[in-house]
Amino acid sequence: MDNSTLCYIEKDGSYLMMHRVKKQNDLNHDKWIGIGGHFEQGESPYDCVRREAFEETGVTLINPRYRGIVTFVTDDTYTEQMHLFTCTEYAGDLTLDCNEGDLEWVRKSEIKNLPIWEGIRYSLSFWIGESRSFR
């Protein structure tokens, strides 16, 4: 089973989203997702989300909030547990230049209009408080 993290960094009523358009053979191609990636050997979910956020954005997360796990089962041979976080504080200079996709601040009310995974759509609906309008 694979383990990964995904973080939605929040600022001024928006989340930092990545439009996955830059990598070849990307399972997430053309989806909008948060910041994150796969665990490295010996990492905890908190270690992983902090490392991935720094690698993808140049910022250090301060007090990321653990929100839960979404389990993706694609077939009999692959299962992924994605540890979800939100974060409202970070240190450092944010860069929007990422080799995996285009980073953009997206108003929370507009996320439901983007192509995102259903499991993430369901989770975000509770964090944002718009559960009826996200589904």
Structure confidence at residue 127 (pLDDT): 63
What tens-digit pLDDT sequence spans the chain (135 residues)?
A: 889 999 999 999 999 999 988 877 767 777 898 999 999 999 999 999 999 999 999 999 999 999 988 887 877 777 889 899 999 999 999 998 888 899 999 998 898 889 888 777 777 776 665 544 444
Structure confidence at residue 10 (pLDDT): 94
Structure confidence at residue 126 (pLDDT): 67
Structure confidence at residue 134 (pLDDT): 44
DSSP state letters, the chain: -EEEEEEEEEETTEEEEEE--SSTT-TTTT-EE-EEEEPPTT--HHHHHHHHHHHHHS-EEESPEEEEEEEEEEETTEEEEEEEEEESEEES----B-SSSEEEEEEHHHHTTS---HHHHHHHHHHHT-HHHH-
**pTM (2 decimals)?**
0.85
